[in-house]
Amino acid sequence: MRIRLYHGFTQLTIRGDSPIEMGNGDAMTSLAAGSWTLKLGQATPPRRHFHVFSKTFKPTQSQEMEAYLVQWRARGFPAEPVLLGLRFSTESGQILDGREYWISVQRFENEKDALALKSSLEKENVWVWVRPQLVQAGAGSVTAISGAGQAATLRLPLTVKSGAPLGVVTPKDREEHRYTGVLDLAVEPDSTLAIFETLPVEEYLAGVLPSEMPALWPAEALKAQAVAARSDVLGHMALKRILEGFHFTNSEGDRVYGGFSGRHPAADAAVQATRGQVLAGGFRIVPAVFSSNCGGWTENNDTVWSSPPEPALRGTADFPFGKIPAASPGASMSRWLQSQPAAYCSGDSAGFRWKRRITAAELGKLVNQQHKVGTIRSVEPGERGVSGRLKSVKIVGSEGTVTIRKELPIRQAFDGLPSAMAVIQEERGPSGPVAYTIIGGGRGHGVGLCQHGARGMALQGIGHAEILAHYFAGATLEQVR
Same structural domain for residues 301 and 382? yes
Band (pLDDT 50/70/90 cuts) for residue 141 is: very high
Same structural domain for residues 33 and 150? yes
- pLDDT, mean of residues 244-268: 93
Same structural domain for residues 53 and 127? yes
pLDDT at 328: 86
Q: C-alpha 255: how far from its chain's center?
A: 5
Same structural domain for residues 385 and 342? yes
pLDDT at 26: 73
Say how far apart CA 36 and CA 416 lie, in whole Å: 42
Domain of residue 213, residue span: 202-289+450-479
Contact 394, 291 (CB under 8 A): no
Q: C-alpha 97: how far from its chain's center?
A: 21
pLDDT at 172: 86
Say how far apart CA 419 and CA 308 lie, in whole Å: 21
Same structural domain for residues 129 and 149? no
Band (pLDDT 50/70/90 cuts) for residue 11 is: very high
Same structural domain for residues 275 and 185? no
* Domain end (from 85, 102, 136): 136
For 372-403, how does the pLDDT look when each residue is reduced to its tens digit (9 = 90+)?
Answer: 999 999 999 999 999 999 999 999 999 999 99
Instruction: Tell me the three state secondary structure of residue 141.
Output: strand
Instruction: Tell me the three state secondary structure of residue 288.
Output: coil
CATH code where residue 37 lies: 2.60.200
Say how far apart CA 132 and CA 446 lie, in whole Å: 31
Query: Which residue intervals of 123-200 are DSSP H helices?
Result: none
pLDDT at 344: 98
Same structural domain for residues 310 and 441? yes
Band (pLDDT 50/70/90 cuts) for residue 277 is: very high
* Domain end (from 136, 162, 188): 136
| Structural domains counted in the chain | 4
pLDDT at 180: 94
Q: C-alpha 319: how far from its chain's center?
A: 27
Decide if pLDDT at 252 tops 80: no
Contact 190, 45 (CB under 8 A): yes
Same structural domain for residues 328 and 436? yes
Say how far apart CA 294 and CA 307 lie, in whole Å: 20
Short-list 120, 134, 129, 125, CA closest to 45 = 134
- pLDDT, mean of residues 259-283: 97
Instruction: Tell me the three state secondary structure of residue 370.
Output: coil
Say how far apart CA 480 and CA 254 lie, in whole Å: 22
* Domain end (from 157, 174, 198): 198
For 26-77, how does the pLDDT look when each residue is reduced to its tens digit (9 = 90+)?
Answer: 789 999 999 999 999 999 999 999 999 999 999 999 999 999 999 999 999 9
pLDDT at 326: 82
For 311-370, how does the pLDDT look when each residue is reduced to its tens digit (9 = 90+)?
Answer: 999 999 999 987 888 888 988 999 999 999 999 999 999 999 999 999 999 999 999 999
Same structural domain for residues 30 and 167? yes
Same structural domain for residues 237 and 132? no
Same structural domain for residues 312 and 385? yes
From the CA atom positions of the chain, what is the Rg in Å?
25
Where do the DSSP E strands lie in 25-180? Answer: 27-31, 34-44, 47-57, 80-84, 87-89, 95-97, 100-108, 129-136, 139-146, 151-156, 158-162, 166-169, 177-179
CATH code where residue 68 lies: 3.30.70
For 146-176, how does the pLDDT look when each residue is reduced to its tens digit (9 = 90+)?
Answer: 988 899 999 999 999 999 999 999 998 879 9
Same structural domain for residues 303 and 390? yes
